[in-house]
Amino acid sequence: EDKVVQSPLSLVVHEGDTVTLNCSYEVTNFRSLLWYKQEKKAPTFLFMLTSSGIEKKSGRLSSILDKKELFSILNITATQTGDSAIYLCAVEARGNEKLTFGTGTRLTIIP
Amino acid sequence: GAVVSQHPSWVICKSGTSVKIECRSLDFQATTMFWYRQFPKQSLMLMATSNEGSKATYEQGVEKDKFLINHASLTLSTLTVTSAHPEDSSFYICSALHANEQFFGPGTRLTVL
């Protein structure tokens, strides 16, 4: 059974701090790992990672995948209050398009 | 592009009634849609895969007779929660598959009294 574990479960930091969110996974026939940001409604897509060692970057957010260690991190630099959300990690296996989600990390940014 | 809508955005119903939730792909056709459920402070759990023109595929532990899925067209899938009970209260989210990527709807919050 595919499994995704995220840590920490929750994190509270001050505005301007840098945070690192972790995601480890077990999946048969890995295809991709995805990061989402969820505020009050449905998740919004952040990154899709398929290859090890290649950093994906979007503004203050970046992410990287380690397929050997079955691990990914999501970094957010110079955090802002608008970054407060639940960050979800999900993996997709080849052969079906189903996503297995982790429990998420609830990030709170204090002004 | 790749917008998915859900209707209603929230619904309150009495125990024992049935509730239908619609998921629409607005600017693309989706052969495959997914239905997820998210309880408070928990992650999204896949309930079923909805395939246009064929029966849905349910995940283990999800009762197919209670959660009826109909994917009658390439832009619409419906989830009907039959004989709803308070424990069915949850946030239901659909996604539609397009170009190998899932696009999520805004979700429907169901409260069963």
pLDDT of residue A1: 81
Q: Which residue of B has its CA nearest to A31?
A: B100
Each residue's pLDDT tens digit, A13-71: 999 999 999 999 999 889 999 999 999 788 899 999 998 888 999 999 999 999 999 99
Chain B CB contacts of A43 below 8 Å = 44, 93, 104
Q: Which residue of B has its CA nearest to A39?
A: B106
Chains A, B: CB pairs < 8 Å: 39
pLDDT of residue A34: 95
pLDDT of residue A97: 77
Q: What is the 3-state secondary structure (H, E, C) of chain B?
A: CCCEEEECCEEEECCCCCEEEEEEECCCCCCEEEEEEECCCCCCEEEEEEECCCCCEECCCCCCCCEEEEEEECCEEEEEECCCCHHHCEEEEEEEEECCEEEECCCEEEEEC
Q: Do A42 and B104 touch (CB under 8 A)?
A: yes
pLDDT of residue B28: 93
pLDDT of residue A73: 98
pLDDT of residue B107: 94
Low-confidence ranges of chain B (pLDDT < 70): 1
pLDDT of residue B72: 83
Separation between Cα atoms, residue A11 and residue A21, nearest integer Å: 9
Q: Do A104 and B97 touch (CB under 8 A)?
A: no
Top residue of B5, B44, B101 to mutate, by most chain A CBs within 10 Å, is: B44
Amino acid at the residue A31 = R
Chain B CB contacts of A98 below 8 Å = 34, 46, 49
pLDDT of residue A94: 86
CA distances (Å), origin A79, targets A82, B5, B7: 8, 30, 34
pLDDT of residue B101: 85
Question: For residues A46 and A36, is the Cβ–Cβ distance under 8 A?
Answer: yes
pLDDT of residue A41: 80
> Which residue in this structure is represented by tokens 């995948």?
A65
Å from B106 to nearest chain A CA? 5
Q: Does A99 touch chain B (CB under 8 A)?
A: yes
Average pLDDT over residues A84-102: 90
Question: For residues A25 and A33, is the Cβ–Cβ distance under 8 A?
Answer: yes
Q: Do B104 and A99 touch (CB under 8 A)?
A: no
Residue among B34, B43, B93 minimizing CB distance to A103 = B43
Lowest mean pLDDT among A4-8, A9-13, B38-42: B38-42
